Amino acid sequence: MEAQKIKMSNSGYRLLNPGDIIGERYQIEKHLGGGGFAVTYLAQDINLPNRPSCVVKQLRPMFRDPWILEDAKQRFVQEAEMQRRLGNHPQIPQLLAYFEENEELYLVQEFIEGEVLDKEISKKQLNETEVIALLKDVLTVLDFVHRQSAIHRDIKPSNLIRRKSDDKIVLIDFGAAKEIGTLVFDPEIKATFTRAIGTPGYMPPEQYMGRPNPIYASDIYALGKTAIYALTKQEPRDLEDTATGEIKDWQKTNPDNTAVSHKLAFILNKMIRPNASERYQSAREVLSDLEPLIKVGKKIGDNYKIIRYLGGGIWGHTYLAENLQQTYQSPCVIKQLKPQTLDPKIKQQIEQRFDTEIAVLQRLGDHDQIPKLWDRFSENQEFYLVQEYINGEDLSKELRKGKRLSEKDVIRLLKDVLTVLDFIHRNGVIHRDIKPSNLIRRNSDGKFFLIDFGIVKEIVTLSESTSKPRSSTQPVGTEGYMSPEQMVGKPVYASDIYALGTTAFQALTGKAPEDLVTNPETAEVILEKGQVSKELANILNKMVSLELTKRYNSAEKVIRDLQKIGAGPGPIIPFIKWGAIILGTFLLVLSPFMIKAINLRMIFAKGNEYYNAEKSQLAIDEYDKVTSKDANFHEAWTNKGFAYGRLASGSIADDQKNSYYNKMLDSCRVATNVNDESILAWMCLGEAYKSLNMLDEAITSLNKAIQIDPQDPAIWINRGEAFLINKEPENALPDLEQAIQLLGNVNDQNYLSSVAWYMKGWALRDLKNFERALEAYNKSLQYDPNYFFAQLGKGISLRGLQQYPQALSTFKDMLNNPQLTDKEKIQTLYWYGLTLCDSGMTTEGIDAFDQVLLIDSNHQSSIDAKNNCRN
């Protein structure tokens, strides 16, 4: 077939018409879409049997300046190769060819038969289950894309196609190719730049403002806006606040009033936060939060259909479900429990203990204020409990609405729950996690039900190194409600009473546990005048006494004292003499050593609070109190060492730094002497030696830590850094690769992964392997796009590869960050100056070094570089 005569546009680009043939094989069928920067056509490959359909994309630089055309061609090849790699994913169109013809650039891609999402939504808005499936589909693709160091830049409903053959979502029309059309030339620095790519309404603020380097969080923002459009059938721009551009309360604008769960609303709102640093930083983070919602609408355990997600945490997730076989048990509550181990032997131990504890929970269900356990099953190496659904509202929701309970209501609450506690304690069970959200007030009669027992949570935290619960490091319970002895992994019946007393104080005052005002001498809670009777205040303070010997040791005793202040008749519980004798004996065994240990643990915990709040000196003061009373408390010595290290890292004089580092060294030495099997103590010692530039000693200390636990990636990273500082990159590289391998098996380690890849880049850069170094730095930035040292290393590697425009763009982007410290500015400006000089821009390079010297007039490297650049 003879091609038609090709016409030219006003800008000099030819306009393709049906019948035109390009690349000697692709015959145009029709125009699909596009604008001034790129135009898309449907075509046929006439060189193949059956003439399969394909998509031709014609890229059009805005200007035909020779500088721009040359840069466009280089970018075109780079982006084409990137799209070839991306096409390996089954939900991204394959790149079939790319070529230049008559000074015009073409991409040829696989044709996807299906319907674009915006057309699908125009016919029918999606419900929550469908949107969750959409998010999972696209996020899985985005995770792949971002791991290839690519960013889509233009996610929107029209760039998502639901493939006809399998209903999968295919991601099309990557913005990087369009970017070529926006190239402009700056004659002053003889460099080309691009405009922002994206679509208003879906484009995040940082992309709209023309940030030079896009970030992964930009794609997440655009996908969040797409999901909201799918749920509401309203364009994001129509929902935006005209003053701020933000979308608020979008759930209320839903025309069909389709229900959106709090969990999904939270996820979507976090995806579209205007401040990129407050957004999800990776697709995997979103998938992790979305994971419990994926079960909604699905069938599990053969008999149950998930209706709604109710909540969850590290222990597992809770759902409202329908029993498809026994409809009289609908609705029901299903608890999914996730063992925190990969070891099959430990999993077997968990299952055996799970069976034992299930029998206990079944007995507890005999009480009419504890949900009945109806079923249990295992699926995909996860455990599930099926329990009676209590139609009511938990106390935490009442309190969140600003409601406070009267004294009379609090007394009834206490009697209600104490009756249940007495029952479970007589069955040898400690609840371990009493708090407002685990107390449900039943609508039918106002009675409180006790839910979510801690014994099952304890089972799923069995570690891979021991068959015992990790109670010493991760006690079951909720901070603020846990008693001192429970915090150190030694709960007793009185621990439940402590938690209930704290809950009662919260119900009376409306204040969370950490906000309650206490007397510093007696530790009693101070209440407002007239807020509660003296009798109830005395009972509550006895319930929450920090000293176990002064606290109520049975629920029955609390009820007896409550009955003395009235508020209606309460249940009379027979005194269980044998229980009191056993508990009393237990307390005698613990005293006084247990009380001393609890008090020291509380001081230690206070020190940790100060440390986490970056109040290092106050933390050291608390650790000193601990070690003065117990010189063998190695954790206090270790944490004291780290606190001195943090003080040394501040902006202080060099002699003060060395003083702090020497104190760190002394503390960490004591810690290793007290307990030479403590990994943290040896890591602390290694860090102290490293900071004092005693690198051989640092490596020896970290060798010891690796001997104790070779599976901890942080130790390998620390030793790798020591090798790097000691100018031994060839020794550092295996350590960092080992850390990366270990981190591949660990979830939620974005920070460590970012550091490991950054240091690998450092090692490779020292070995002059700039290409692999650049790959490592890009990998680091996938985990943390704002990691300064990885950004700097990327720029330095680009300079090493003599890719000067890209290096300059990287450094300029870093210098636009208003949060850079002076030290970071100096490093960035120094390398920026070197790159400018390498590029022949002497004046600009000298100016960069002058900016360094304005901050630090004695920066010798910049002085030398300035002279070299001038010469």
Tokens (6 digits) for 288: 């992790």
**Three-class SS of 560-623:** HHHHCCCCCCCCCCCCCHHHHHHHHHHHHHHCCHHHHHHHHHHHHHHHHHHHHCCCHHHHHHHH
Q: How far apart are CA 216 and CA 151, in angstroms?
A: 6
User: C-alpha distances in angstroms, 610 versus 208, 483, 616?
Assistant: 41, 20, 7
User: Alpha carbon 72 to chain centroid distance?
Assistant: 37
753: enclosing H helix or E strand? helix 750-766
Helices (H) and strands (E) in the chain, counts: 33, 22
User: What SS3 class is residue 522?
Assistant: coil
Give the number of other Cβ atoms within 10 Å of residue 538's Cβ. 14
Task: Please give the backbone phi and psi of residue 153, each rounded to the nearest 5 degrees, phi first.
Answer: 80, -10
373: enclosing H helix or E strand? strand 373-379
Amino acid at 191: A
Give the number of other Cβ atoms within 10 Å of residue 619's Cβ. 25
- Which residues have a Cβ under 8 Å from the Cβ of 605 and sit 6 or more positions away? 487
Range 812-820, long-range pairs (CB < 8 A, 24+ positions): 812/212, 813/211, 813/212, 813/213, 814/788, 816/211, 816/212, 820/788
Burial of residue 795, with CB atoms counted within 10 A of its CB: 0-12 exposed, 13-18 middle, 19 or more buried: buried
- Which residues have a Cβ under 8 Å from the Cβ of 510 and sit 6 or more positions away? 399, 402, 403, 404
Tokens (6 digits) for 541: 């303070």
Q: How far apart are CA 343 and CA 341, in angstroms?
A: 6
Cβ(450)–Cβ(417) under 8 Å?
yes
DSSP track, 643-667: HHHHHHTSS--HHHHHHHHHHHHHH
Residue ranges with strand state E in 403-501: 439-442, 448-450
User: C-alpha distances in angstroms, 89 versus 83, 140, 308, 493?
Assistant: 10, 10, 32, 56
Q: How far apart are CA 504 and CA 497, in angstroms?
A: 10
- Residue 524 is given by DSSP the state P
Cβ(370)–Cβ(388) under 8 Å?
no
Cβ(155)–Cβ(223) under 8 Å?
yes
Task: Please give the backbone phi and psi of residue 127, each rounded to the nearest 5 degrees, phi first.
Answer: -85, 180
Task: Please give the backbone phi and psi of residue 475, each rounded to the nearest 5 degrees, phi first.
Answer: -65, 145
What residues pair up with 185 in beta bridges, in sequence order?
Answer: 192
Cβ(787)–Cβ(793) under 8 Å?
no
Q: How far apart are CA 411 and CA 417, in angstroms?
A: 10
| Catalytic residue flag (residue 71) | no
Tokens (6 digits) for 314: 């590290």
Burial of residue 798, with CB atoms counted within 10 A of its CB: 0-12 exposed, 13-18 middle, 19 or more buried: buried
Q: Please pick, among 154, 416, 496, 784, the residue that the annotation labels catalytic.
A: 154
Active-site positions? 154
